[in-house]
Amino acid sequence: MTDERNETADQVEADINFDCPLCQKNISIDARGAGLMIACPDCRQEIQVPIPAAEEVVDLVVDGGVLEPRMQELQSSLADADSRRERLIAELESAQQRLTHLEKNVAEQHGRFEQISAELVVIQNSLDRLVSLLQDAGVRDL
């Protein structure tokens, strides 16, 4: 064992530290090398870089930034989806407002037509009354 692994905390967190199974040389390798076959820098034999246990992987993710770029990618896609959703909701709200406005217009027009119909009934009644008055007055040709 050497004091190598305590040099800088960052390096230790981001790297995998292990001893060469053949010459016992302490080796420090970037976390991305997990599971790879490498040549031992000391005895030159092919050895496999150990794959860290789950709790060590968590440290590597957090401090070593192995998965962080992927996480940031996912978070930014998530943010994109959120802003798209907000835009769609805003469009939906404005469409609903337009629809409400149109419905109000239709209702107003409808009310106006009913008023006109009522006026027409009044006019028709007046004409009927006029005709019967004229008939009473002896004008038979109508």
Tokens found for residue 67 = 């998965």
Answer for which of 12, 23, 34, 38 binds Zn ion (CB under 5 A) is 23
Stretch that binds Zn ion, among 22-30, 108-116, 122-130, 131-139 (CB under 5 A): 22-30
- Alpha carbon of residue 80 to chain centroid: 6
Please give the angle made by the CA atoms of 105, 106 and 111, to the nearest 5 degrees: 95
C-alpha–C-alpha distance, residues 45 and 27, integer Å: 13
Binding mask 28-67 for Zn ion (x = CB under 5 A): ------------x-xx------------------------
Answer for which of 7, 19, 22, 112 binds Zn ion (CB under 5 A) is 22
Cβ-based nearer residue to Zn ion, 9 or 43: 43
Please give the angle made by the CA atoms of 98, 89 and 108, to the nearest 5 degrees: 15
C-alpha–C-alpha distance, residues 106 and 125, integer Å: 28
Residue 27 pairs in a beta bridge with 18
Residue 20 binds Zn ion, judged by CB under 5 A? yes
Cβ-based nearer residue to Zn ion, 20 or 29: 20
Stretch that binds Zn ion, among 19-27, 49-57, 91-99, 130-138 (CB under 5 A): 19-27
C-alpha–C-alpha distance, residues 16 and 5, integer Å: 10
CB of 73 to Zn ion, least distance (A): 37
Which residue ranges make up the site for Zn ion (CB under 5 A)? 20, 22-23, 25, 40, 42-43
